[in-house]
């Protein structure tokens, strides 16, 4: 039985994309900064008895946990030294792992690290959009684009590649028409974005976006990248700058939804803070090119932003609740209890509660208690909770259907 049929049989329902392009939200300008050699040791049985249903993958200090997405049962532990990051690869089976040496592909359903690698220093953002997955390697400026369906062959997908003029902490996304949007910058500063057509020719550029960071896609394929003074939108072949209400109003992490023209972003106003703990988030209307701020009354972190199945904006606050925001009215419509109160650590690589949304379920980690919770977004009820051997850091899983 091939994998696509196998997964349809296992899941019984098609997975819906809760976040159009996810982002790999970064807390700093480096995506991976440990010097450990990535030697893998599988601590589970030599051969997994079965494949995992809708697998989740959580990182801990020294490895990866693979869990069943329905029961949250820990099915496998893989030792992988270093600071590792995880993101959906874009199909029903795989997760991209950012390691010290580059991007590696994990077959989460079969619970094994594959031989598919994209080597390079400082692997950064992983973006899924319009049936393509895009990897950006900060240390080299290399962009790799591939169809995630090709991962099922077991061979490294053949796809589009591009290298930016200067290596920098950047991001790229390919649109449905084959256009490739990528950031502009170098090791010292980042200034904006450019767009290449399907033949690699530059067709648009805008450098009015200081400190460009992160991306998201909204309904109608409006693409936004964050700036230190607002956001830069790209839609229908043109760039539009949306200014922040403050001289320094940094939006660095965003979450989009195919069900809403409004993007969710963070919002910081202190350029000199060692760590600003903001209480306001931004809502960017990509149709009207307008930005509004919503005060949550609690702080949050870069791993707190997500979108629900109906386009609702979700923010995991340090008060322990998931704040549900109507993106049209900008009002907080519900606060769903999730974890205990917490504080964001100064070091962005240190664990903190993390929100990952898939279909109608919010998965929330609670490192201080070594817990992981599954919450039904429709009812607000906590469906399942488990305690893991170690507290986790990043949390992700398989997500297809975009």
29-87 pLDDT, tens digit per residue, is 444 433 334 444 444 443 445 789 899 999 999 999 999 999 999 999 999 999 999 99
- The candidate with the shortest Cα–Cα distance to 40, out of 91, 89, 106, 96, is 106
Report the distance separating Cα 43 and Cα 50, nearest Å: 16
- The candidate with the shortest Cα–Cα distance to 137, out of 256, 233, 30, 1, is 30
- The candidate with the shortest Cα–Cα distance to 54, out of 16, 15, 98, is 15
138-178 pLDDT, tens digit per residue, is 999 999 999 999 999 999 999 999 999 999 999 999 999 99
DSSP 350: S
55-70 pLDDT, tens digit per residue, is 999 999 999 999 999 9
pLDDT of residue 38: 41
273-303 pLDDT, tens digit per residue, is 999 999 999 999 999 999 999 999 999 999 9
| Residue 18: strand, helix, or coil | coil
Report the distance separating Cα 22 and Cα 203, nearest Å: 25
> What pTM, to 2 d.p., does this model score?
0.89
DSSP β-ladder status, 41-42 and 74-79: antiparallel
């Amino acid at each position: 039985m091939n994998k696509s049929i196998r997964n349809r049989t296992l899941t019984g329902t098609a997975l819906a994309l809760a976040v159009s392009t996810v982002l790999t939200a970064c807390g700093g300008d480096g995506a991976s900064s440990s010097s450990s050699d990535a030697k893998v040791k599988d601590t589970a049985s030599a051969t997994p008895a079965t494949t995992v249903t809708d697998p989740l993958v959580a990182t801990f200090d020294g490895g990866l946990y693979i869990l069943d997405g329905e029961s949250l049962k820990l099915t496998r532990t893989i030792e992988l030294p270093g600071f590792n990051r995880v993101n959906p690869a874009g199909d029903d089976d795989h997760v991209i792992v950012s390691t010290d040496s580059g991007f590696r592909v994990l077959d989460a359903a079969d619970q094994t690290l594959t031989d598919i690698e994209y080597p390079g220093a400082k692997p950064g953002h992983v973006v899924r959009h319009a049936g393509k997955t895009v990897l950006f390697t900060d240390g080299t400026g290399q962009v790799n684009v591939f169809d995630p369906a090709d991962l099922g062959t077991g061979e490294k997908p053949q796809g589009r590649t591009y290298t930016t003029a200067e290596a920098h902490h950047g991001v790229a996304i390919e649109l449905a028409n084959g256009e490739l949007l990528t950031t502009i910058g170098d090791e010292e500063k980042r200034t904006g974005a450019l767009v290449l057509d399907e033949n690699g020719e530059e067709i648009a550029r805008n450098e009015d976006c200081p400190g460009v960071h992160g991306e998201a896609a909204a309904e109608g394929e409006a693409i936004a990248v964050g700036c230190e003074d607002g956001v830069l939108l790209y839609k229908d072949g043109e760039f539009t700058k949306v200014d922040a209400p403050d001289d320094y109003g940094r939006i660095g992490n965003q979450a989009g939804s195919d069900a809403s023209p409004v993007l969710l972003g963070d919002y910081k106003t202190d350029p000199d803070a060692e760590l600003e703990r903001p209480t306001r988030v931004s809502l960017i209307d990509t149709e009207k090119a307008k930005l509004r701020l919503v005060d949550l009354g609690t702080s949050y972190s870069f791993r707190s932003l997500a979108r629900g199945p109906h386009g609702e904006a979700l923010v995991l606050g340090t008060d322990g609740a998931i704040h549900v925001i109507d993106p049209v009215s900008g009002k907080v419509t519900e606060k769903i209890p999730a974890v205990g109160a917490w504080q964001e650590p100064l070091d962005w690589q240190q664990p903190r509660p993390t929100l990952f949304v898939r279909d109608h379920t919010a998965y929330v980690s609670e490192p201080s208690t070594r817990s992981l919770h599954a919450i039904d977004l429709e009812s607000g009820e906590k469906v399942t909770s488990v305690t893991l051997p170690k507290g986790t850091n990043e949390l992700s899983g398989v997500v297809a259907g975009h």
